[in-house]
Amino acid sequence: MGSQVASSPVSVRCQGILFDMDGILISSIGSVERSWATWAAMRGIDNERTQQIAHGRRAVDTLAALCPELDVETELRILEDLEISDNDGLSVLPGVAALLAALPPDRWTVVTSATERLARARLIASGIPTPERLVTAGHVTHGKPHPEPFLAGAALLGFAPQACVVFEDSSSGAAAGRAAGCTVVATTFSHPVESLDAAHYLVTDLAGVSVRKDAEGLVLSLTPLTE
């Protein structure tokens, strides 16, 4: 796919917003990669294969695929401890603080493939607001790219999926949001553009995204990328 340029601004009406966490609100890719590499070395598993399939999926699903002969819950706890103890390079991504500050607390939540313990630890460490309720790996039976996480997020906010906008950075997350019936805005922060074809809109990051509330709900303003 060719280079991406900004097109004309668009307005997207919605009632609620569902944010992925890693790669959308915060960057913890260094911690993720180091933790998976450490775990893979402990278990004698090829790290390159591990890194290829881990991003954007629940760790429990990745672990089950990589080491079905081991106790997945035990391995999950080990990996979780590794990630929680490593906050080096953790950062809030561009535009996040301003966008969240403009949103009413009851109009957004986080839908992440991380465990709840890890998600809350990372959000607290980053200093951005932590929703009282969020959707994490343990709240669903099927992880992304299955639509269940975003269906659960929409239900948590009390809105129809079609009335929600999803912000995602991964191919599996974009596919999950699309399958759930949400409008999907994908950032090009961490994945190739060609892998994000399930998204309705592409943006570089959240720096160019703004929101206002009116009598009918929320109005998002963004400038999509186009080829």
DSSP 125-162: HHTS---SS-B-GGG-SS-TTSSHHHHHHHHHHTS-GG
Find the largest Cα–Cα distance for the chain. 57
- 16 within 8 A of 107, measured Cβ to Cβ: yes
Residue 65 half-sphere exposure toward CB, CA atoms < 13 A: 13
- Supply 10's token pair: 């668009």
Catalytic positions are 20, 22
What CA–CA distance (Å, rounded) separates 19 from 144? 13
What CA–CA distance (Å, rounded) separates 43 from 54? 15
